[in-house]
Amino acid sequence: MPPGGGPPSHIQTREEEAFYILEGQLTFYGREGEITAGPGTYLNIPKGAKHRFRNNTARTARMLFFFAPAGIEGLFDEFSALDKPNGEPAEALGALNAIGEKYGVQYFAD
């Protein structure tokens, strides 16, 4: 995850999501507040929990994602084919939700 990078708030309705931080530091935001996670940290996000994360540092972070059950992989394939957003947040959010709907993922502007 590059400096300043991270997805908007979102909910997965079909699977749990987990992260294992390999390098760097990420800040995770959820209903319970925020957690700053460094190397060796494992976080589990339950299905239906609204969350997001961001790299608030000047250093690239690396992590592993885990999803259970499988099936969301196509979402990332489709995201990689998108053109870069033109700077209009509403347009980018609309594109994310158009793809996310197929995979039970909803993105939010907050």
What would the mean pLDDT of 60-84 be, rounded to a whole number? 91
Domain boundaries of the chain, sorted by first residue: 1-6+15-70, 72-105
Distance CA 90, CA 21 (A): 30
Of the pLDDT bands very low, low, confident and very high (cuts 50, 70, 90), residue 107 is very high
Pair 42, 2: CB distance under 8 Å:
no
Of the pLDDT bands very low, low, confident and very high (cuts 50, 70, 90), residue 45 is very high
What would the mean pLDDT of 12-39 be, rounded to a whole number? 96
* CATH topology for the 1-6+15-70 domain: Jelly Rolls (2.60.120)
Contacts of residue 11, Cβ cutoff 8 Å, sequence gap at least 6 = 48, 49, 50, 51, 105, 106, 108
| Summary mean pLDDT of the chain | 92
Of the pLDDT bands very low, low, confident and very high (cuts 50, 70, 90), residue 88 is low
| pLDDT of residue 35 exceeding 80 | yes
